Structure 1
C-alpha cells in the first residue's frame, strides 16, 4: 500500500515537532537538556492527585468517573474555572467555559472552527510552533502580527492569499518561545486592530500564572470585557491549561469566551472525541479546589530562581554577538546568535561534542526564516546543571564562530 499516494493535501503541511523529537534525549543521562518546556516532575502534586483519584474510584463515585460525560466538560471544574477567570478579571459563567484535552486541542479546534483554506492568521514572528502545527492542517496564510501592519494592509495581503483575515493568535504573557510579554498598550492596540478587521483574538494563557517579577497585566479578554461589558460581546477566546501548573499528563485545558463560540466548539468536540477524560477532569477539579493557589506559589519560587540562574550563567558564558531575552515569567529564554550560525547546525554540533540540547529557533517562524536563534527552557535544572549546561552552549557557539568562512 502506497499511503503517500492517497493522503490529503493538508498532510503536506504537517511536520514532526522538533520538540517532541528532542524529548527523546531526556532518556540519555549524559545530556543536559534545555529543550522541551517540561514542568519539573518533582513538583507535581502527586499526593493530592492520589487522594483525588482514589476518591473518584470509591463507591458510587466510580460510576461517574468511569462513565461517558457531557462534551462541555465536568460541571464542578467549569465552575472553578469560571471563578478563576473572575480572579483574572474576566466575569463569566459556566456557559463560557469549555473543557479540552489540553490547550493544544483547543488550538486545533479553533483552527478548524475559523479557518478555510487560504484564510489568513496573524501570528507573532516567532510564535509557538504547536500553534503553527495546529493551524497548518487548515491551510492558512500567515501574516506577522508584530510587524506593525495596519488593517488595510492586512486586508490586502489576505485577499492576495485568496481568503480573509480570521484571527490573531498570541501568548501575551511570557510567550513561547521568547518569554516576552505584551504590555498593556500593546494589548489595547491589538484589540483596536481586531475590532477594525472584525476578527477573533486567540489568547494563549498557558503561562499566565507563572510570573516571577513585575506587575501583572490583565488578560486581553479582561481588557476587552472592560470595553464592551458582557463577555458575550467579546471577540477574544482565552485558552488555558493545567499542564504548566498542575500536571501535563492528564491533558486538561479550557477555552473561555462568548457562549456563541463555545457552543460551536462543543459541536467539534462531539464529532472529535466526545469529551475529555471524565476521571481526569474530576481529579483536576478536586486538586484545583484544594491546592492550586499554594502550589502555583511554590512553582513561582522554584522556577523564578531557576530563571535567574540561567540569566546569570548566560551573562558569564555567552560570547560577544549573542543576545537574549530577560523574561519576567514562563519557562523560556530566547537567544539570537550571530547571523552566520544556524541553530539546527549548532544543536547537532552541541549534541555531538558538548552533550547539551536546546531547541533551534527556525521552527517557531511561520516562514521558516531566522535560523540564527535558539530557545532554552529553564524549568528543570538547578545551579550545577545550569552552570555546566550554559557553559557547554557557550563553548559550542565559540567553536561554530571559529569555523572558516
Structure 2
C-alpha cells in the first residue's frame, strides 16, 4: 500500500477542509433553516438571459470561439466590458490590465503563489475570509493581524515578519461588507492602509466580491481607485482588485477577474497558463453577453431581495437574541457577524442547533488565522426567505439563552 504522507510536499500538511463547504451539505436537508452558506439565491439567477446567451454564443461562427482554446488573459469582449465597469468605480484601465480567472478564488490562489515564499507574512483581518486563508496557507506563510485603524507601525510589522524569517508581502482585505463580518472600511481606513503599504513596500489585495451589493449608506471608493488617485494612474499602483460575477450573475460559471498594473497582470498570466491555460471560453462568451444586457437590472433585483432579508435578520436579532450578544449591522453584502457571550462555544452550539433547533450557521473560529474567536458565528441571509429568517433567528435566540447562563 502506498504511504502518501511520505511523498507529500510540506505544504500539504497545512491544507484542511473548509467548514463552510461541509456545512453546505445541510442545504439538502429540507427541515434545516440554513444561515451557513454565503451563497446567492438561485431563484434570482438570470436564467433566461443565460439561455439566450449560450444559444447566441453557439450559433453561426460563434461556436468556433466558444468551443475552442482561447488566450490566457481571457475574452477580449468580456475584458472590455469590465474596463467600463472599473471606470464607473473610479479606475481608469484597459483590457490589458485585466485577467479573467476561474472565480476570484483562483485569483487568490495565484496571488498567494506569486507573492509568498515560505515564512513570508500576509497581513489579514482578524477575522477574515476563510477561502483566502486556505488559498494563502498552501504557500507556507505566517499571518499577522491587519487593522488599518490602529496605530501599529510599519516598523513593528516589518520587525515581526523578519523575526519569523521572511518579509511582509501583502495586505489582504475585503473592504466592502466583508466576509465574514459584513463590515465596511471607511475611506480614512483605506487611505491609512495605503500609507502602511507604502511604508512596507508591499502589495494590497482588495477582494471586491461584494462591491455591488450595497443596500444603504454612502458608497466608498475602492482601494484601487484611491491608489490610482494617489499614485497617478493604475500602472503606478500597488493594489490588485479581485472581482467576481458569483454574487451578481452566477457562481456556477466560475468567472472572476483581477484588475491591476500591466506588470503584475503579465506575471499572473504565466500562472494562468500553467494552471489551466484559460477559463472556459464558452462561459466567458455567455457571461459577456449577459453582462452587456442585464447586469444593472440584475444587480438592482438582488439588492432589493437581499436588503429585505438583511432587514428581517437584523429585526429578528433585535427581538430574539439574549442580553450580552452583539452583532454587526451591515450596509450590504450577505453576512451578519454575531459575538456570543464570553465562554460560549459556537462550534458546540452548532451541533445542538442542527440536532434540536434545526438551524445551521458557521462557527466563527474558522475565520481566524490563529484559531481564536470561539464565541463568534457568521449568519448569511442571502438564500433564506424573510419568514424563515425570522423563525430561524427565534430558534437561535432561544438556544443561546438556554446554553448561556449569565454569572450572578
TM-score relative to the length of structure 1: 0.99
Deviation of the 1:400 alpha carbon: 1.3
1:15 equivalent in structure 2: 16
Report how many residues are paired.
405
Q: Partners of 2:314 and 2:116 in 1: how far apart?
A: 39
Whole-angstrom CA distance in 2 between matches of 1:264 and 1:361:
35
Paired with 1:168 and 1:60, the residues of 2 have a C-alpha distance of 45
Residues 1:288 and 2:304 aligned together: no
Deviation at 1:58, TM superposition (A): 1.4
d(CA) in 1 for partners of 2:322, 2:144: 33
1:72 corresponds to: 73
Matched position secondary structure for 1:89: coil
2: CA distance, partners of 1:148 / 1:304: 35
SS in 2 for 1:327: coil
Deviations 1:186-231 (A, max 9, x none): 0000000000110000000000000000010000000010111120
Partner of 1:271: 274
Counterpart for residue 121 of structure 1: 122
Aligned to 2:38: 37
Aligned partner of 1:153 among 150, 153, 156? 156
1:245 corresponds in structure 2 to 248
Superposed counterparts of 1:99-178, under 5 Å: 99-146=100-147, 148-178=151-181
Aligned to 2:52: 51
Report the Cα distance in structure 1 between the residues aligned to 2:265 and 2:109, rounded to whole angstroms: 14
Q: Report the CA distance between 1:379 and its aligned residue.
A: 0.2
Asked if structure 1 preserves the Cα contact closer than 8 Å seen for 2:308 and 2:386, the reply is no
TM-score by length of 2: 0.98
1:296-311 pair list within 5 angstroms: 296-311=299-314
Partner of 2:82: 81
Q: Which residue of 2 aligns with 1:208?
A: 211
3-state secondary structure, aligned to 2:180:
coil
Q: Distance in 1 between matches of 2:79 and 2:152?
A: 37
> What pairs up with 1:360-375 in 2 under 5 angstroms?
360-375=363-378
Name the SS of the counterpart of 2:258 in structure 1.
Answer: strand
In 2: Cα distance, 1:250 partner to 1:82 partner? 20
Consecutive unaligned residues of structure 1, counting only runs of 5 or more, are none
SS at match of 1:238: strand
The alpha-carbon deviation at position 59 of structure 1 amounts to 2.2
Q: Pick one of 307, 318, 322 that aligns with 1:319.
A: 322
Gaps of 5+ in 2: none
CA offset at residue 402 of structure 1? 4.0
**Please, which moves more after superposition, 104-113 or 53-62?**
53-62
Instruction: Please give the secondary structure, in 1, of the residue aligned with 2:242.
Output: strand
C-alpha separation in 1, matches of 2:384 and 2:108: 29
Q: Deviations 1:91-111 (Å, cap 9, x if unpaired)?
A: 000010000000000000000
The alpha carbon displacement at 1:148 in A equals 4.1
> Deviation digits for residues 19-59 of structure 1, max 9, x if unmatched?
10000000000000000101000000000000000111112
- Name 2:91's counterpart in structure 1: 90
The superposition leaves residues 284-343 of structure 1 with CA deviations (integer Å, 9 ceiling, x where unpaired) of 000000000111011111101110000000000000111000000000000000111111
User: For the residues of structure 2 that align with 1:30 and 1:4, how far apart are their CA atoms?
Assistant: 40
Distance in 2 separating the partners of 1:27 and 1:167: 38
Root mean square deviation of aligned Cα: 1.2
Distance 1:210 1:355 in 2: 29
Deviation at residue 403 of structure 1 after TM alignment: 10
1:382: Cα distance to partner?
2.0
3-state SS, counterpart of residue 152 of structure 2: coil
Offset of residue 149 of structure 1: 2.2
Partners of 1:149 and 1:128 lie apart in 2 by 22
Give the whole-Å Cα distance in 2 for the aligned partners of 1:395 and 1:148.
Answer: 40
